[in-house]
Amino acid sequence: MPVDAEGFKRVAASWATGVTIVTSRSGDRQQGMTVSAFSEVSLDPPLFLVCADKSSITNELIAESGVFSVSILARGQEDLSNRFASKREEHRRFEGLDCTDGATGCPRVPGALAWIDCSVTRAVDAGDHVIYLARAEEAAAVDGEPLLYFRQAYGGLS
Ligand SMILES: Cc1cc2nc3c(=O)[nH]c(=O)nc-3n(C[C@H](O)[C@H](O)[C@H](O)COP(=O)(O)O)c2cc1C
């Protein structure tokens, strides 16, 4: 069966994922967006990847600065996921959030299950997205359960 846009989206949505917020900072500009296209890649050296839509503001900042931070969301953080995905008031996403800055200077989202501060080692042009392969400069995880995403709906482990 040929893969049209609707078929692509339906198949891609059948892959259950966690949910992250990827943030970046360039000069005095910061932005962050909800990202499910995230993966571990290598233990030695420690590499991860994220795929960013070329049209996103966050992509623009990552391309400029070469750094980003990934916050892996915990169960119950759907509102944050929706806030960082919505195009409405996208410049107010960080309002009221007590973020901390990691080694790269990019904001980490409070209440996350884990976070990783990354420096881009390679940017691969991939259609309407860019694949950022990046080295983990700092990372940590706390106890808790993940926020999951499957076919446009949030869920948990049980
Ligand atoms: C659950 C979920 C997962 C998403 N995953 C990605 C992703 O992997 N890559 C991406 O570029 N956008 C992804 N998006 C869409 C962006 O979060 C959205 O386009 C955002 O508004 C971009 O923000 P910006 O242009 O301000 O940077 C996802 C959205 C949702 C709700």
Span 11-66, pLDDT tens digits: 999 999 999 999 999 999 999 999 999 999 999 999 999 999 999 999 999 999 99
Cα gap 42→149, rounded to integer Å: 24
**Span 69-103, pLDDT tens digits:** 999 999 999 999 999 999 999 999 999 999 999 89
Instruction: Tell me how many domains the chain contains.
Output: 1
The SS3 of residue 1 is: coil
Identify the CATH number of the domain in which residue 140 sits: 2.30.110.10
Q: Which residue among 56, 90, 106 has the greatest number of ligand 1 atoms within 8 angstroms of its CB, and so is best to mutate?
A: 56
Q: Is the pLDDT of residue 158 over 90?
A: no
pLDDT (average), residues 117-123 = 98
CB 136 within 8 Å of CB 42: no
Kindly state the greatest CA–CA separation across the chain.
48
Residue with the smallest CA separation from ligand 1 atom 5 is: 35
Range of the domain at 33: 5-155
Q: In the prediction, which pLDDT does 70 show?
A: 98
pLDDT band at 118 (very low <50, low <70, confident <90, very high): very high
Residue 1 has pLDDT above 80, yes or no: no
- The binding-site residues of ligand 1, defined as CB within 6 angstroms of any ligand atom, are 19, 31, 33-37, 51-53, 56-58, 81, 85, 87, 90, 149
Q: Which H or E run contains 8? A: helix 5-12
| Ligand 1: residue whose CA is nearest its atom 7 | 35
